[in-house]
Amino acid sequence: MKKVMLVDDEIVIRENIRACIDWEKEGFIYCGDASDGEMALPMIDEWRPDILITDIKMPFMDGIELSSIVRQRLPDTKIIILSGHDEFSYARTALRIGVEEYFLKPISSADLVALLHTVGRKIDRERREKRKPAFTREKLLGDLCGGLIAETEAREAAQALSLPLSASHYAAVVWDLRCPDNGSSPDEAALHAAQYALEERAVGYGDMWRYSRSRTEEVWILRGNSPEEISALLEKLHRETLPELERSLPCSVAIGTGSVQDRLQGIHASFLKAEEDRSLRRLARQNKHALWETIGDEREIPFLDRPRYLEFLKIGTPADADRFIRDFAEALRGMDWNASLYGYYALNDLTLETLQEAKRTLRLAEDPHRALDDLQRQIKEIRSWETCAAYLRALADAFWEWRSESSGKYGDMIAKVKEFIRERYGDDGLSLQHAAEHVCVSPSHLSKVFSQETGQTFIECLTQTRIRKAMELLQTTNDRTYEIAYSVGYGDAHYFSNLFKKTTGLSPREYRRQGKESAGPEGASDDDDDRSA
């Protein structure tokens, strides 16, 4: 519904226009009127009408001056001038400042309604055009992975793109292609061959989405009807597709797979897991290459039983740690730490596996590279079997510390962010950046922690808070719908109404009427219904 405001110094004209049109039936909201431009300006700033009807000749501030100011402040507001002065100079000035229509008085109510509908249709077309380029397929999928879009908005954008979003389960996959350098940039032929190979193999993964995150990174979002189906696809990636690509391509291929999620907003959490997995797998792979180069042709090199160590971290206790670690590290007792680098590579490989396990099972939010740098520094200082065993104990202690902290470590920060949302939900410019600044962390860190700890993105939480407050205001006040929209942080009342209906299943007006009916005759008010949008 478009908001309409009238400015005319003749009270008879204002009263006739106000009374002779059934505004709500015609799909408009009559905000109010003023007798001259000077009185109208503060009302315009408050109501931000979609259509302004103004006379030309008025005291204090005429219609031309008013129109010029409104055009600067509210460029999307359409201006209709009604004038009794049939002079070309007025029309020429009006057209120059961007007035939509110029009509001579008197004008019948039927003609005015037809004119308003014509202007209203133009407003709708312009709004649709503005929404069209807001999302491409790549931007929508990127925003889903980044947790930057609410579910209702994502579904609306997907519908406009004819992209079906509905699925029972999802999982993100991140591909990373590292091609040989040909001077200052990757070998383009090798990169194109790798991208083409990925495109060919994507066909075997059913109804999935894919988009290029950069020249060397591609993201897949697998979709399926059950967790078992998604897990089977992820296993196929590691068992068949990745080894095949590694054998056939001139590029180094790394892959990160995310967790299986059963909600659309869970794609964000799955993507974060996939990025972590990709990063740690690449580090582990680089370490293995260095390890084999170091071993060379030597025989009977003692390998650490990594699965055994990781299993102990998950089910063991600090009381048993010393006994287990001395037994586990026995294979390295004869290692000459000054003559061979094998021990350092073996411990580094075990450390990477431990970090990956911590990320997978404990949902840590710290940057793994930050922890890895400190741990690798400790590895470099090892000079004996005793210090090796001490490092393995320190690594185990770090894992258990992460485990004990992971459940409630971010409780205070999440509470502060939620309180920040409750205090600032009415600010239409409120963003993840503002919340991150409030709790003194980076937006990416907050996005990750918030989604992991609450099960919803920042945008989802903000939208939920706004809609719940709007529901409260619809039942407890007589404010019009667009007033409520502004008060809960939505500058576009039409968008708010659509979002409200998608979230609650009812339009704001239907929700308000339902509340009145449940309250009975004493809780109803005809005036309240008349004022709703």
Contact 42, 87 (CB under 8 A): no
pLDDT at 187: 67
| Res. 101: pLDDT tops 50 | yes
pLDDT per position as a tens digit, 162-203: 888 888 899 999 988 876 655 445 567 777 888 888 888 888
pLDDT at 171: 93
Please count the residues of the chain.
533
Higher confidence at residue 199 or residue 87? 199
Distance CA(430)–CA(442), nearest Å, equals: 16
Contact 169, 207 (CB under 8 A): no
pLDDT at 6: 94
208 closest CA partner among 175, 252, 240: 175
The percentage of residues in the chain with a pLDDT greater than 70, rounded to a whole number, is 84
pLDDT classification of 485: cutoffs 50, 70, 90: very high
pLDDT per position as a tens digit, 450-462: 877 777 888 889 9
Helix/strand/coil for 28: strand
Higher confidence at residue 335 or residue 36? 36
pLDDT per position as a tens digit, 394-418: 999 888 877 766 655 677 788 899 9
| Res. 356: pLDDT tops 80 | no
Higher confidence at residue 249 or residue 143? 143
pLDDT classification of 443: cutoffs 50, 70, 90: confident
| Res. 284: pLDDT tops 70 | no
| Res. 522: pLDDT tops 60 | no
Give the range with max mean pLDDT: 286-300, 358-372, 413-427. Answer: 413-427
Strands of the sheet with 252-257, listed across from one edge: 209-212, 217-224, 169-178, 252-257
pLDDT at 298: 44
pLDDT at 131: 60
Residue type, 434: H
Contact 174, 217 (CB under 8 A): yes
pLDDT at 469: 94
List alpha helices for 296-341, DSSP H: 306-315, 318-328
| Res. 302: pLDDT tops 50 | yes
pLDDT at 290: 54
| Res. 21: pLDDT tops 50 | yes
123 closest CA partner among 63, 66, 80: 80
| Res. 447: pLDDT tops 60 | yes
| Res. 338: pLDDT tops 50 | yes
pLDDT classification of 420: cutoffs 50, 70, 90: very high
pLDDT per position as a tens digit, 126-140: 887 776 556 788 888
pLDDT at 393: 92
pLDDT per position as a tens digit, 211-256: 988 888 899 999 988 888 888 888 888 888 888 888 888 777 888 8
pLDDT per position as a tens digit, 76-86: 999 998 877 66
pLDDT at 518: 61
Which H, E and C letters describe 150-177, residue by residue?
Answer: CHHHHHHHHHHCCCCCCCCEEEEEEEEE
